[in-house]
A and B are shown apart, each in its own frame.
Chain A
Amino acid sequence: MTRSPAAKRYNRRVIRLSLLYALFLVIAVSGFNRGLLHGLVAYFAAVLPALPIIGVFGAIGLYLVEEQDEYVRMLMVRQSLWASGFALSIATVWGFLESFDLVNHVDAYYIAVLWFGGLGFGACVNKLTIGSAAGQG
């Protein structure tokens, strides 16, 4: 399948952001492991790896704006909606399991991991309901 120019730009952005994420994560982890980071610098270093992931969400938003093929865009919108429903539902159930002392607390960034997993779930739903998974992510 030929990718649209918007999809190609999206892929390029995500690859760059992923490389940046790996770099920032290594910097932050090694800084904390060596005990070099304190005070405000610690906050800044902790936030550093989050920025490229936020950038990926931005890239998905840009892709939705730039994609000219309405059908492909509709598939991606559906995928994103399923991903949001999937991630938020699991976060809700997990949150109540935490407050009833049944499971441990988890780091909040796992919600983003769930959301990206939810894109796969959304692609399956698209395939089952309208016969085409398509979209990015």
Chain B
Amino acid sequence: MTVAKQSDLTPAQRAHTRRVLWMLLTYAVVLPPLLWLHAHREVSNTASLVMAIAASLPVLGIFASWGRYVSDEHDEYHQSMALRRIAVATNATMGAAVVWGFLQAFGVMPLVEAYWIPTVWVVMQGMFGCIEFFSRRSAQQ
């Protein structure tokens, strides 16, 4: 079963999945102690800056991994599907950010941390991936 599932993935997809899992693991390991330190200890501004950058690096790594995947993928179909997913996620995220931004600017909605924007992007990617998967399945049936 595992072998069958693995063979469905292209080498570039496998490498991308591995990289993303490593980045998520690093994120999960790095973030809790940083948040704990920030909440319970007096930390200088320089140390806080280093901590904030350390927390963002795994997420930046995930974006870099997406870029590397698009460039490494030799299967044109998979590459075009990834580009479509990225385009849809980017448009939807930018749309949401612009709407929320104007609601904030006119004082109708509260300000939120900017990292919610990349979070929305990742969720949009996943949602569009699911839609693609189910529409492919229903087309096959």
Contacts and interface: CB of A to CB of B under 8 A. Distances in A.
Main secondary structure of the interface of A (DSSP, over half): helix
A84 interface: yes
B106 A28 contact: yes
A61 B91 contact: yes
B49 A91 contact: no
B106 A32 contact: yes
B103 A43 contact: yes
B65 to A, nearest CB: 11
Contacts of A96: 52-53, 55-56, 115
A99 B115 contact: yes
Given A32-B106, A108-B112, A80 B87 contact: yes
A80 to B, nearest CB: 7
Main secondary structure of the interface of B (DSSP, over half): helix
| Max count, chain A CB within 10 A of own CB: residue among B52, B59, B60, B66 | B52
Contacts, number: 148
Given A42-B108, A81-B67, A111 B91 contact: no
A119 B139 CA distance: 36
A97 B49 contact: yes
Interface in B72-99: 83, 86-87, 90-91, 93-95, 97-99
B60 A115 contact: no
Contacts of B121: 84, 88
Contacts of A105: 111-114
Interface in B97-141: 97-108, 111-118, 121
A92 B59 contact: yes
A37 B86 CA distance: 37
